[in-house]
Every structure is written in structure tokens, then in C-alpha cells.
Amino acid sequence: MTENTQTNSAEYIPALKKIRKRRLYLWFVILAYLPAMMVALESPDYKTWVTVVFVTWIVFLIFTVALACLARCPRCGECFHTHGPTFLPFRRCLHCALHVNADKRAPEEDPPNAKYTNKK
Ligand SMILES: [Zn+2]
């Protein structure tokens, strides 16, 4: 069982890297709002720049949320952060509870939903 889990963890590495990268983009866009808005407010033509920064930020936010929503779990094949219409950027898959760092962690002794571990 442990050997099988380790093999699966190695197979999950590319997909989990992709999920982590998309999560990083999302948090970067969210955190970029405040400094970008502060720079825009310092501008002499601040009304225009605040509008430009806000619209640009919204476009980036929609794009990065969509990328994070569409990331597929390597274990169960479902959307990692989406359950129905709900987007929840938790660190575990919302369907099979695979951790986003499962490839870096020790194999789980008793995965929450072992029924997914052999699904291809
Ligand atoms: Zn999953």
C-alpha cells in the first residue's frame, strides 16, 4: 500500500506543481491590488489611473480565478478547488482530499478517500 501511494505521489508531481503555480498566481494578483492602487493614487491624474488599475486588476483576478478553478486533481480527476459552483482555494482537493503538497510530504497512512487512489 505504501509503495503504491509513493508511486502515485510521483505521478502527481506535474499536476500538483501546476496547481501550486496557479494558486501562487491567484495570491499574487490578490496581494498586488493594494500596492498598485497606492501607486495609482499618487498620480496627479489619479481618477484615470485608479480606474485603469481597478479594471486591469479585475481582469487579472477573473483570469487567475478561472485558471485555479479549472485545475484538475491528479488523483480523482475532478476540479481541485471547485465543488459545484463553489470555488474554495483550500490546500486539499475538495473531492478526494489530496493535499496540494502531497508530492513533498510523507505518504499518508490512511488516505481519507482511498477509493480514488487506484483510479486512473
Ligand atoms: Zn481529488
Compute, in angstroms, the gap from residue 94 CA to the centroid of ligand 1: 6
Asked if 92 contacts 100 with a C-beta cutoff of 8 angstroms, the reply is yes
Asked if 93 contacts 73 with a C-beta cutoff of 8 angstroms, the reply is yes
Which cell is 25 given? Answer: 498566481
Compute, in angstroms, the gap from residue 72 CA to the centroid of ligand 1: 8
CA 53 vs. chain centroid, Å, equals 24
Compute, in angstroms, the gap from residue 58 CA to the centroid of ligand 1: 28
Q: What is the pLDDT of residues 18-28, one digit of tens each?
A: 999 999 999 99
**pLDDT value at position 113?**
55
Closest-CA residue to 38 (of 30, 48, 49, 28): 49
**pLDDT value at position 103?**
86
Compute, in angstroms, the gap from residue 108 CA to the centroid of ligand 1: 14
Whether pTM exceeds 0.85:
no
Split the chain (120 residues) into runs of 10 and give each run's mean pLDDT.
55 93 96 96 95 97 96 95 93 94 77 53
Q: pLDDT > 70: what percent of the chain? A: 82
